[in-house]
Chains A and B, each alone.
Chain A
Amino acid sequence: MSIVETKIRDLPPASLAPAKTNSIEQIRYGCAIGALQSVAAIPRAIPITHCGPGCADKQFMNLAFYNGFQGGGYGGGAVVPSTNASEREVVFGGAERLSELIESGLKILDADLFVVLTGCISDLVGDDIGAVVRPFQERGIPIVYAETGGFKGNNFTGHELVTRAIIDQFVGDYAGEQQTGVVNLWSLLPYHNTFWRGDLTEIKRVLEGAGLQVNVLFGPESKGVSEWKAIPTAQFNLVVGPWLGLSTARHLEHKYGQPFLHVPVLPIGSNETARFLREVLDFAGITAGPARDKAEAFIADEEARYYKYLEDFTDFYAEYWWGLPAKFAVIGDATYNLALTRFLVNQLGLIPARQIITDNPPDEFREEIRAQYRRIADDVATEVDFEEDSYAIHQSLRQTDFGHKPPIIFGTTWERDLAKELKGVIIEVGFPTSYEVVLSRSYVGYRGALTLLEKIYSTIVSRSA
């Protein structure tokens, strides 16, 4: 496929750029306590929430229901106990109520790990959650707590708080050996990323195909808490994505002396995946010899299969060129946004028209993220925007020059109406994806890239149906 040439997009003049509204229309993330779904993503782990009525349910419905209709699973959704804190818990404190809830929860819930998550009420009033949870921990009950009041940040922040809580309070100290070839994977935000189950499965598959052993930690391929307990024994931590998971990796480096490898680009397609695997193999010290040969054989085998499908696809791609979009926009969290942009530019030769990151990455990471977009390909650079307000995002898309062909927008359900307005095509790839039912579908790695191609071009050819 061709590589296109484009120049750094000129930003619209200040008068055209939508003014900061100081408000958010159509949200693109949940509250910190939304990380209850990160707990639910660990097999046989159950979250216990200490918050007002509605908090837990709203987060579940948003993140796991009207987002691919993923469902609550073993421990999430409707299973999650809540103190349903009311005025009484505000005035007198909710510690007693929480203790009662944990005690009764233990009688009817069967889990390998419980994670207590607090909401705004408890964090504002200052309930001492540690003092509530500690006696249970002393009784040998696998339970930890994370203070996830809404003012701490969004569900990305909540995810990091929960991860940290499990590592510090459940995994604990470790001074033993680390096992070569074993890697802990820190990547997509469970549930929030609609395709996380399939994607983590594919990432694990390719890493294992290359000869590594993977603690995937979340999702159907995770072995549950035994994998978490094994975190300190891994050779290194692997962070895949522009920023999420980095603070965890740094913490683990400090706590267990474990090194980490940061790969900002979640790999989609053959080129990216091969590059990704080689980088990880090099970091793992598998640079030559039979292990490397085996890994290279796996890459070659995957590549052969991938390009066989692409070869067949080229008939369609070449024949149908007049009906295919040329310019695209991606509206989504940093991980998917960067990954998709690279794939679409490098593998399909599409032209990036507008990229907007919506997960509010911490400021410290933004410059590096911008730099990633400035080197999307050897000869393609683009600018990325950070925006969380859908009003501003949609205004910005309206002002984007998509050329004479209909634009293709990789976004969320919030972009559906806008895509109609712009007479373009919408592919829902992020939260909230309310018009897709997603089970094991993946858009990453070798297999996911093919699925993504199917999705993109099925959507396009079926437009006129």
Chain B
Amino acid sequence: MGKKTKQIAIYGKGGIGKSTTTSNISAALVEAGYKVMQFGCDPKADSTNTLRGGEYIPSVLDLLRENSRVDAHDAIFQGFRGVYCVEAGGPQPGVGCAGRGIITAVQLLKQQDIFEELDLDYVIFDVLGDVVCGGFAVPVREGIAEHVFTISSADFMAIYAANNLFRGIQTYSNKGGALLGGVIANSINTDFHREIIDDFVEKTQTQVVEYVPRSLTVTQAELQGKTTIEAAPHSEQAGIYRRLAKRIAGHTESKVPSPLDAKELRAWSAGWADQLIEIERRSERLVANA
């Protein structure tokens, strides 16, 4: 028997920087000497691109589409410093059931005992957007990830998605499912952004794991098909990702969050929107008076 693999799931609204952040966490962990697998759970199958020089890999479901029996090894590819990359993949947009696809892909690797065989320290699931159906909740369910992190900006829609995820976690929490590690606050460049996120985590009884600012370094690295850790290892941003990776690696105690209900969430966001408008007005007055 090898060591126990630590399994982590990272969720967040589409376009929020999930894959970017997850890939940098994976890169930072392999750099620190751990054996890591990043498992992309998104029909687009592009979670691990920046770990492999911008290259796409065939997904588990691509293989399943061609053959009824699939050797999971055929779906595992190595990238930056040996990180293992897997993409669940999915049907074409508009047909089939992507949620069932995620279930099928995750089960295939589990059934073939891949995590144990590769003697992994970390498996990080990078999961598409919201928990819209049972399929996308699979990494949260019993026996898969133990800790869930959500990536959110201070944007209200991203926070709604995070709150929905909390509801999913709450549902599975008494059935042996994963618990919440905290929020990775992304694109946080002002104090105001920070205040919104801080207030949200306080209301929902969780914590911010790390504040990640928006940075051009990330964009430049992505354009090269690389993570920031690989493309700009000495940058400030790389340092932030390493700190985040370290926190996640060292994280042990997850909790059941207290998601806001629809009414509370609306009231909460309306309160912040009023403040936001007030700030905008003030800055407009300053410009006019100048």
Contacts and interface: CB of A to CB of B under 8 A. Distances in A.
B270 interface: no
B95 A87 contact: no
A456 interface: no
A210 to B, nearest CB: 54
Contacts of A128: 95
Contact of B95 (A88, A92, A124): A92
Given A93-B96, A126-B95, 17 more contacts: A87-B100, A87-B104, A88-B64, A89-B96, A90-B100, A91-B98, A91-B101, A92-B65, A92-B92, A92-B95, A92-B96, A93-B92, A95-B95, A125-B95, A125-B96, A125-B97, A128-B95
Contacts of B96: 89-93, 125
Interface of B: 61, 64-65, 68, 90-92, 95-98, 100-101, 104
8 contacts: A88-B64, A91-B90, A91-B91, A91-B97, A91-B101, A91-B104, A92-B95, A125-B100
A127 interface: yes
Contacts of A87: 100, 104
Contact of B68 (A88, A124, A125): A88
A359 B104 CA distance: 38
B136 to A, nearest CB: 14
Interface residues of A, number: 13
Interface string A65-109: 000000000000000000000011111110100000000000000
A113 B58 CA distance: 43
B100 A88 contact: no
Contacts of A90: 96-97, 100
A127 B98 CA distance: 13
A79 to B, nearest CB: 26
Of all A-B residue pairs in the complex, the 6 with the closest CB atoms, nearest first, are A93-B95, A93-B96, A91-B101, A92-B96, A92-B91, A125-B97
A124 B104 CA distance: 17
Contacts of B90: 91
Contacts of B92: 92-93
A87 to B, nearest CB: 6
Nearest to B68: A88
A324 B17 CA distance: 82
A115 to B, nearest CB: 23
Nearest to B102: A91
A127 B97 contact: no
B46 to A, nearest CB: 19
Nearest to A95: B95
Contacts of B91: 91-93
A83 to B, nearest CB: 14
A126 B100 CA distance: 13
A90 B61 CA distance: 12
Given A87-B104, A91-B91, A92-B91, A124 B97 contact: yes
A88 B92 CA distance: 13
A128 B91 CA distance: 14
B94 to A, nearest CB: 9
Contacts of A95: 95
B67 to A, nearest CB: 10
Nearest to B95: A93
A95 B104 CA distance: 19
A126 B133 CA distance: 15
A87 B107 CA distance: 12
A265 B233 CA distance: 85
Nearest to B90: A91
A127 to B, nearest CB: 7
Among A87, A91, A92, A125, the most chain B Cβ lie within 10 Å of the Cβ of A91
A127 B90 CA distance: 15
Interface string A131-156: 00000000000000000000000000
B59 to A, nearest CB: 11
A119 B189 CA distance: 52
B269 to A, nearest CB: 32
Contacts of A93: 91-92, 95-97
A126 B101 CA distance: 15
Contacts of A92: 61, 65, 91-92, 95-96, 101
A91 B100 contact: yes
Contacts of B68: 88
Contacts of A124: 97
Nearest to A128: B95
Nearest to B96: A93
A87 B60 CA distance: 14
B220 to A, nearest CB: 37
A201 B288 CA distance: 91
Contacts of B95: 92-93, 95, 125-128
A128 B94 CA distance: 10
A204 to B, nearest CB: 45
B73 to A, nearest CB: 20
Contacts of A126: 95
Contacts of B97: 90-91, 93, 124-125
Contacts of B64: 88, 91
B196 to A, nearest CB: 37
A87 B104 CA distance: 8
A90 B90 CA distance: 11
Contacts of A125: 95-97, 100
A91 B60 CA distance: 12
B60 to A, nearest CB: 10
B181 to A, nearest CB: 30
A233 B97 CA distance: 44
Among B95, B98, B100, the most chain A Cβ lie within 10 Å of the Cβ of B95
Contacts of B100: 87, 90-91, 125
B265 to A, nearest CB: 29
Interface in A36-67: none
A14 B286 CA distance: 76
A124 B97 CA distance: 9
A464 B96 CA distance: 61
Contacts of A89: 96
A85 B213 CA distance: 48
Interface in A328-377: none
Contacts of B61: 91-92
B22 to A, nearest CB: 23
A357 to B, nearest CB: 36
Among A88, A92, A128, the most chain B Cβ lie within 10 Å of the Cβ of A92
Nearest to B105: A91
A90 B91 CA distance: 10
Contacts of A127: 95
A315 to B, nearest CB: 68
